[in-house]
Structure 1
């Protein structure tokens, strides 16, 4: 039976390679990569953007698009995590980290013809700082609150105090931004896609439109953020159209772009293709010239057939969340330890993730400064898991386990398949698992955010190389997704976030990782290097471990 199954799999693999090879040969005679238009590049994305204004978004698919249109004061070097100049050609920070001075580039224009200068920078920061009403809801301003705290006038007692104090132009090409206290989010915040800089004229039009409407969970995005006419940045591409029916965003090269490289194609189309198999088929047929999140099993066959399959560096984390309020037994550390010992992380790495993936032992990959080598370990041990459950009076534990469908993420290429491995692990340890499949957006994201899932799988790709961007995202304050209150941990997170000395911060992060894994709020599972695929005749962009690819680098060979 085993040998027959193996022969069948080998035969299927041979057919797949042959089919891919035939498609590659057919495409090699076409200089346009199958698009029928050498001036257009179509890229398949696993999800659709939520907004054309990055400051109103929290999702990677929005940022993938908006990064091509908007630029920030600082950015990351191509292919790496080092912070380098962008719209600011240099910057200085005061020793206490409270005053940030930026020397701006000259001759930069927004897509609507407005000049980029210090006044334009402050117009943006004052817009975010002075948001009122619906804009203060985390559905819209989550990243502003994470990076700079609250607003000039907080309207909710739960909103954090503002850390931003002022933005002051010093002539046309120098700007000074002042904060109340040092934060570990700086200078990384100045690279963040959500703080992409808009044209002052566009901001005036946004303001005239008024606030978004709706109630929690049913908010409507403002019209300007859903249409291509008003929104204007300084990037190598500008918005042309958003066809929501076809799930395509079309960008056009901006001829007045100040920087290098200028766009290598006249049109860039981001087309939503949620299924990895459909992405591969669209690439083979020439309907698209590249796509993201290649299924691990497709990597080698695609390469063998002549496609380009670059792999990003490892800078993400998949974890098992444990919501302690939704399931009171999870408040017992022995139960959380039992679940950790029940999971065979290596089986996920081996069977579901691409080469280079690793089992995780803390809530950040080892590529982030602050990674600790002394965290408590919870090795795969089903028998120990059973003993711990029995000792905690939870040997008949029955628990709901939520997982997303119809989605692929850089840290989680096949959620249903990963769920099945975890379910089998837990049931082997005596835990009854109740399946709760959900559509990714908004159902799954809303349910996990609201603390309605006792167990769930989700993850994170870092925004910048600072440990606070990982563990601070989850453990700085009470979070509904975790449902625990550990005041010592929260206080320790606040201490490290305000430490301006980087070397001291790194040592504090290591201690925090030890503390987090001693408490064990959830189970870190894996970190992996996601892959992209491109037609043979495409010059692809430099892959970014932060998924911050610059598609201006794309051209046809």
Structure 2
């Protein structure tokens, strides 16, 4: 079968077109229900969140519910054009790499201030980069997931942190020019500069509230008051309050922003149950929510709501922890799990329109995807045969799955667990279910403390580069997967450093082949999540990156 190869530009354009079509097809919905606020600009929008944020300092986060909130308050140097994965200016009006891509020069937007009134300038940019690089303490470094993935190491690595730092230094050439020096080229740039974790924050506030203080007690982490109450950026909104008892985070318009929000207030109300979010929208208690159940798309449209479908830019996977159970170190056992899961049936019965079975860990829209990988179609007989050959016919696995959350790649974790566990039971595997709250220890248990044998997780791309998927998952030894494969790590490192263009894409295609032969985890699906808003809400643009910003929202 001949494959159509799309350039990065064409892929990004298709993503943007799909988002625009979703908006145009749903924007004509009508409803008689009143919304909060009204009359164009001003008013309050209440948005239903699926779970509590972790806190609000993005450098210590890798959680989508947290980033949804911090994106409204904090700006990055570069951002994604609404509805696409294309790059556009934000705090930097221009970014220029040197010939060897080891130096990046940022021309900054003039006259910008943080919400505390202090100036945003090149010195502030360098303060932020130096803060991340010089972060002290094993607890703090362990929580800097994105920094570790992109910049690889610290001035002094502590705890489990390792690797040679990508970052070298930052120079404030003048107030409007920041020069970033790297020890080596990084293929993730410039796209990785859009990451919420690399948002610019006020040096004054960071120092005043001791933002770098992170402590660990057992499996739990705690942060300074800055992370909970005083996060300070240049964005269209600023922090007002977090009522953890009521599950409400309130932001207000930041009048010092270069582009203040049109709304007066933006409230995020935590409603973990999807049906409860739907009922709250109907009652007018909220004006929008994320991740409606796929089965509800038609009903919501018929009731006048706007269902904005995001193009697929994510992957759902079954994680495998080889350190948790020696049997899982046998590739035949991992292959048996893959053959034993009826992914076609799962996608058709549990996921939204447009979702597809995943054949690898890179979505089709991302450079580096290739169809030329080992496939594992549903085959119970082959799965049982492989288990028998490996001496694992009586295999017992601790299967972890999250509760109190809905993710873009996993609209209903309990349903996903049930479907996959029943398939695995059918090939003779005994399943020991372990359910944990998403923000109550689940991610730490499966990603840091490797308590599981298998687990459900996924990823929504942060930027348009294959390294943001497979490099994040398998670029180095991690407790989540519990394996050491130097050849694979080397291949991914080489792909990351390959020059942009065909050489970069082909290097990741080759790495994807290695991954699917080794099978460190099992890709399940490429879902197409949606966001829903009421008929009077204008200005929400569905993003493949779940990067919806509410600065241009009006209530009419």
TM, length-normalised to structure 2:
0.91
1:298 and 2:308 are equivalent in the alignment: no
Task: For residue 323 of structure 1, report the CA deviation from its aligned partner.
Answer: 1.2
Mean Cα displacement is larger for which, 183-192 or 150-159? Answer: 150-159
Contact 1:123/1:200 (8 A) holds in 2: yes
Mean Cα displacement is larger for which, 440-449 or 355-364? Answer: 440-449
Aligned residue number for residue 479 of structure 1: 478
**Shift in CA distance, 535/38, structure 1 to aligned 2, threshold 3 Å:** farther
**Shift in CA distance, 68/374, structure 1 to aligned 2, threshold 3 Å:** same
1:254 and 2:249 are equivalent in the alignment: no
**Shift in CA distance, 401/213, structure 1 to aligned 2, threshold 3 Å:** closer
Contact 2:238/2:252 (8 A) holds in 1: yes
Task: For residue 158 of structure 1, report the CA deviation from its aligned partner.
Answer: 4.0
Contact 2:436/2:442 (8 A) holds in 1: yes
Aligned residue number for residue 180 of structure 2: 177
State the alpha-carbon separation in 2 of the partners of residues 180 and 301 from structure 1: 54
Aligned residue number for residue 310 of structure 1: 308
**Cα displacement string for residues 429-461 of structure 1 (whole angstroms, at most 9, x for unaligned residues):** 222222222222233212211221111111001
- Secondary structure, in 3 states, of the residue corresponding to 1:213? strand
**Among candidates 76, 80, 87, match of residue 80 of structure 2:** 76
Q: Which runs of 5+ in 2 are unaligned?
A: 1-28
State the alpha-carbon separation in 1 of the partners of residues 156 and 382 from structure 2: 52
**Among candidates 225, 229, 232, match of residue 223 of structure 1:** 225
- Secondary structure, in 3 states, of the residue corresponding to 1:278? helix
State the alpha-carbon separation in 1 of the partners of residues 540 and 175 from structure 2: 33
State the alpha-carbon separation in 2 of the partners of residues 83 and 92 from structure 1: 13
**Shift in CA distance, 156/547, structure 1 to aligned 2, threshold 3 Å:** same
Contact 1:34/1:288 (8 A) holds in 2: no
**Among candidates 340, 343, 364, match of residue 342 of structure 1:** 340
Contact 2:82/2:541 (8 A) holds in 1: yes
State the alpha-carbon separation in 2 of the partners of residues 458 and 371 from structure 1: 20
Task: For residue 552 of structure 1, report the CA deviation from its aligned partner.
Answer: 0.8
Aligned residue number for residue 447 of structure 1: 445
**Cα displacement string for residues 282-319 of structure 1 (whole angstroms, at most 9, x for unaligned residues):** 00000000000101111110001111111111011000
Mean Cα displacement is larger for which, 396-405 or 172-181? Answer: 396-405
**Among candidates 354, 358, 363, match of residue 356 of structure 1:** 354
Aligned residue number for residue 48 of structure 1: 52
Aligned residue number for residue 367 of structure 1: 365
Task: For residue 356 of structure 1, report the CA deviation from its aligned partner.
Answer: 0.7
**Among candidates 129, 134, 145, match of residue 130 of structure 1:** 134
Task: For residue 218 of structure 1, report the CA deviation from its aligned partner.
Answer: 2.3
Aligned residue number for residue 196 of structure 2: 193
State the alpha-carbon separation in 2 of the partners of residues 114 and 64 from structure 1: 24
State the alpha-carbon separation in 1 of the partners of residues 55 and 165 from structure 2: 25
Contact 2:317/2:521 (8 A) holds in 1: yes
Aligned residue number for residue 275 of structure 1: 273
**Among candidates 65, 69, 81, match of residue 65 of structure 1:** 69
**Shift in CA distance, 370/448, structure 1 to aligned 2, threshold 3 Å:** same
Contact 1:33/1:289 (8 A) holds in 2: no
Aligned residue number for residue 459 of structure 1: 458
Contact 2:201/2:232 (8 A) holds in 1: yes
**Shift in CA distance, 94/291, structure 1 to aligned 2, threshold 3 Å:** same
Once the two structures are superposed, the pairs formed by residues 114-129 of structure 1 within 5 Å of their partners are 114-129=118-133
Task: For residue 498 of structure 1, report the CA deviation from its aligned partner.
Answer: 1.6
Task: For residue 378 of structure 1, report the CA deviation from its aligned partner.
Answer: 0.6
**Cα displacement string for residues 354-406 of structure 1 (whole angstroms, at most 9, x for unaligned residues):** 10100001012111111011001111111111111122222222222111122
Task: For residue 127 of structure 1, report the CA deviation from its aligned partner.
Answer: 1.5
Once the two structures are superposed, the pairs formed by residues 88-167 of structure 1 within 5 Å of their partners are 88-134=92-138, 136-139=140-143, 141-156=144-159, 158-167=161-170
Larger-Rg structure: 1
Please tell me the root mean square deviation across aligned C-alpha atoms, in Å: 1.9
Aligned residue number for residue 509 of structure 2: 510
- Secondary structure, in 3 states, of the residue corresponding to 2:421? helix
Task: For residue 210 of structure 1, report the CA deviation from its aligned partner.
Answer: 6.3
State the alpha-carbon separation in 1 of the partners of residues 358 and 181 from structure 2: 37
Aligned residue number for residue 498 of structure 1: 497
Task: For residue 76 of structure 1, report the CA deviation from its aligned partner.
Answer: 0.7
1:202 and 2:205 are equivalent in the alignment: yes
State the alpha-carbon separation in 2 of the partners of residues 251 and 351 from structure 1: 38
Task: For residue 34 of structure 1, report the CA deviation from its aligned partner.
Answer: 9.8
**Cα displacement string for residues 34-67 of structure 1 (whole angstroms, at most 9, x for unaligned residues):** 99x9610000010111122212222111111011
Task: For residue 156 of structure 1, report the CA deviation from its aligned partner.
Answer: 3.9
Task: For residue 133 of structure 1, report the CA deviation from its aligned partner.
Answer: 2.2
Q: Which runs of 5+ in 1 are unaligned?
A: 1-23
- Secondary structure, in 3 states, of the residue corresponding to 2:207? helix
Contact 2:51/2:404 (8 A) holds in 1: no
Question: How many residues are aligned here?
Answer: 526
**Cα displacement string for residues 499-545 of structure 1 (whole angstroms, at most 9, x for unaligned residues):** 23332010011111111001111110001111111111111411111
**Cα displacement string for residues 153-196 of structure 1 (whole angstroms, at most 9, x for unaligned residues):** 33347432221111101111111000000112221221110111
Contact 2:394/2:428 (8 A) holds in 1: yes
State the alpha-carbon separation in 2 of the partners of residues 279 and 39 from structure 1: 21
- Secondary structure, in 3 states, of the residue corresponding to 2:179? strand
Task: For residue 199 of structure 1, report the CA deviation from its aligned partner.
Answer: 1.7
